[in-house]
Structure 1
């Protein structure tokens, strides 16, 4: 989920030019294929595992860069460059490609209908185009939870047991009240920021987000969006945050120093905490998200229309994204499966994360996914969410008027997306 843009243009240009001039790549025979992925999610290990089982197949893996850079490279290639046979697309980027079914293989022609039952229905639906084409197979999901510092909670005379902590905040209102209690006792910030740790989480809970079921824009009248925005705004005004934007250097440093006691932690966030604050091992634990359920994140494997070897790419998808393969990948990397049949498997239910006080992360995160309903994520979802976050951040930083924040966000969204 972390975004790096510094070298995006150069990375995209170099990759596409190299692709256009390439001769004799991994797609030279019908068993081999080119695979584009973004970095940081250990696709190399999955490819190596596949090639051990199939030594006659060569997979040319290219880690393009961040998820944003990979999506940019794919967009450029689809416009006239050499496309890969297989590409990994981050969930936030998938909506704009779902609007382009003509540029991708309809995976139903390769057997997608036969495996549909293996995946969470609401995840599957987000890669289905309006004409019914299936454009991607889900590789993982991002169940929601809250990571908290046990030592800092103890200093604030709050419970530290994960079950007791979870009971503190059945709702977002209660969560904010706990933050106020923590601040009153310690004089320190409870959360990193209101935008990511409150708004971005609350808006993922429910059955409608920025678009309605008919794929029409609904961000300006969706009760769920307004409610999530109000939660974020309340947290921003309550003075309970460290005002540290997620994934910045200051945020990473603050995590290590204990500048905040809790942070929203979709399943993929645990890796960021380990990387950015390695000296805090054993000080963290995981509690349930207010509201109990939700998802933020996940990725899809897709096959561009002009792929040289779509059958070879599909064979890889079918084998490496099966329920048992996703389970094995979870055990080795922490990538949460999108296949609910493994959610009760002992390998998942017994998994405990020593960095987070041996929290049963598999059970915590999969429980947050059950019962979710499908909702449409449209091509402008990322831009819309960013403007809502910006409005909350401005209030948090003392640069925005809380009374005008909602209207300001709506106006900025209309400017950003032209709708």
Structure 2
């Protein structure tokens, strides 16, 4: 498998905070000018050009899917425009949707933005659930629901999801006298995030030169991502202050910091990157796409030392959607392409080439996914591990300001507990104040 990360670096940072998935690492995509789609243009040979607007190194082009579609449909030309950072891409998308101009024929939407899109932009987007070739039953139920508005209009087709496992260093587990076999490791904390904490305490008692986890914020995000209700309730009201799982995740993460189990690292920083090869921490909550990231950063120095086991509870971190604006001149052809790109067979290829785990559950029975193993992680059966995690993940209630809440809980709050030793109650109050100011509450 060519395990490679996808989407933008910023989307990764946000996804790490939000634990929803979130878009992922990019690297070399350049900011581009506004999309030229929606023109209905044909070239000199009468071919129809379909434009696709994405953020970061999204992966569809890199996986060869555009070339395959153009080969199978010789009258179609696909042109992609990319804006590297999602915080630049998404506001532009909202502006173009409002004006009905400047849109690509197909636009990508990161999972942390999909709730706002379905709630406020559905009337400007095609109902892709009615497009020929789109089968609701092919998709994970919770992924389909995320892309569907309250009145039942499916405006977003999922490209991928980020089911999580726990990646761990076998050499450090052996040093701590803990089992290294992935099934036995998973059994240590099965069903309970508090068991994960207890294993960390056992680890610390034996190992003094490495931490148990990379950072407390990622523990908090993983706990939050394993619950149906998080920052919003079923009525669409902000509920993070009163939802027990939010405070549970906060308190657990704070314990990791206070017990000295954290390496105090912030995701997607140089120190965090280097720690994968240096053995500075023993475990990390990791979705399927992060395996390629760990391999890249761990390199030959850490080869043979990493493995992956199931997480204490099923959780999701990452994933995106494709939408088709009604204002597009090529919307019928664009809808056909969106349906094809998100079909099980193409999602399986996307996984093989880019490590983007399918949101189409029908792909899980295809050999490319079902039999997938990762050599760098001691040939871990990643198809089996992550398929189960995806199928068991909760149908999480998403809200339009999830990112703001998650960012502040992590950066204004838990990061200070972890790195500066700030009292957890004080840090919580600071984060709440910052969130309330951002939400005008």
Same fold, TM exceeding 0.5? yes
Corresponding residue of 1:343: 364
Deviations 1:331-351 (CA, angstroms, capped at 9, x unpaired): 232211112223233332221
Distance in 1 (CA, whole Å) between partners of 2:43 and 2:105 is 10
Counterpart among 54, 72, 86 of residue 37 in structure 1: 54
Corresponding residue of 1:398: 420
Gaps of 5+ in 1: 6-10
Corresponding residue of 1:325: 346
Alpha-carbon spacing, 1:178–1:20, altered in 2? closer, same or farther (3 Å): closer
Gaps of 5+ in 2: 1-6, 12-29
Tell me, yes or no, if the aligned pair for 1:26 and 1:60 is still in contact at 8 Å. Answer: no
Distance in 2 (CA, whole Å) between partners of 1:276 and 1:27 is 46
Tell me, yes or no, if the aligned pair for 1:88 and 1:301 is still in contact at 8 Å. Answer: yes
Distance in 2 (CA, whole Å) between partners of 1:361 and 1:203 is 23
Deviations 1:162-202 (CA, angstroms, capped at 9, x unpaired): 11111111221111122122222111211110101x11111
Alpha-carbon spacing, 1:26–1:183, altered in 2? closer, same or farther (3 Å): farther
Alpha-carbon spacing, 1:180–1:51, altered in 2? closer, same or farther (3 Å): same
Residue 63 of structure 1 pairs with residue 69 of structure 2: no
Counterpart among 382, 386, 389 of residue 361 in structure 1: 382
Alpha-carbon spacing, 1:28–1:235, altered in 2? closer, same or farther (3 Å): farther
Corresponding residue of 1:150: 170
Tell me, yes or no, if the aligned pair for 2:37 and 2:328 is still in contact at 8 Å. Answer: no
Tell me, yes or no, if the aligned pair for 1:159 and 1:165 is still in contact at 8 Å. Answer: yes
Residue 15 of structure 1 pairs with residue 37 of structure 2: no
Tell me, yes or no, if the aligned pair for 1:162 and 1:285 is still in contact at 8 Å. Answer: yes
TM normalised by structure 2 equals 0.86
Tell me, yes or no, if the aligned pair for 1:26 and 1:59 is still in contact at 8 Å. Answer: no
Counterpart among 322, 337, 350 of residue 316 in structure 1: 337
Counterpart among 233, 242, 267 of residue 254 in structure 2: 233
How far residue 20 of structure 1 moved from its aligned partner, in angstroms, is 9.4
Distance in 1 (CA, whole Å) between partners of 2:257 and 2:45 is 55
Tell me, yes or no, if the aligned pair for 1:27 and 1:308 is still in contact at 8 Å. Answer: no
Alpha-carbon spacing, 1:30–1:221, altered in 2? closer, same or farther (3 Å): farther
**Partner secondary structure for residue 222 of structure 2:** helix
Corresponding residue of 1:8: none
**Partner secondary structure for residue 320 of structure 2:** strand
How far residue 354 of structure 1 moved from its aligned partner, in angstroms, is 0.6
Alpha-carbon spacing, 1:157–1:127, altered in 2? closer, same or farther (3 Å): same
Alpha-carbon spacing, 1:373–1:251, altered in 2? closer, same or farther (3 Å): closer
Tell me, yes or no, if the aligned pair for 1:25 and 1:34 is still in contact at 8 Å. Answer: no
How far residue 30 of structure 1 moved from its aligned partner, in angstroms, is 7.8
Deviations 1:65-121 (CA, angstroms, capped at 9, x unpaired): 133333233233324441000011111122222222233223245358x51121111
Tell me, yes or no, if the aligned pair for 2:36 and 2:51 is still in contact at 8 Å. Answer: no
The alignment's C-alpha RMSD in Å is: 2.5
**Partner secondary structure for residue 327 of structure 1:** helix
Distance in 1 (CA, whole Å) between partners of 2:276 and 2:325 is 40
How many residues align? The count is: 409
How far residue 273 of structure 1 moved from its aligned partner, in angstroms, is 1.2
Tell me, yes or no, if the aligned pair for 1:285 and 1:356 is still in contact at 8 Å. Answer: yes
Tell me, yes or no, if the aligned pair for 1:142 and 1:295 is still in contact at 8 Å. Answer: yes
**Partner secondary structure for residue 52 of structure 2:** strand
How far residue 395 of structure 1 moved from its aligned partner, in angstroms, is 0.7
Residue 298 of structure 1 pairs with residue 319 of structure 2: yes
**Partner secondary structure for residue 433 of structure 2:** helix
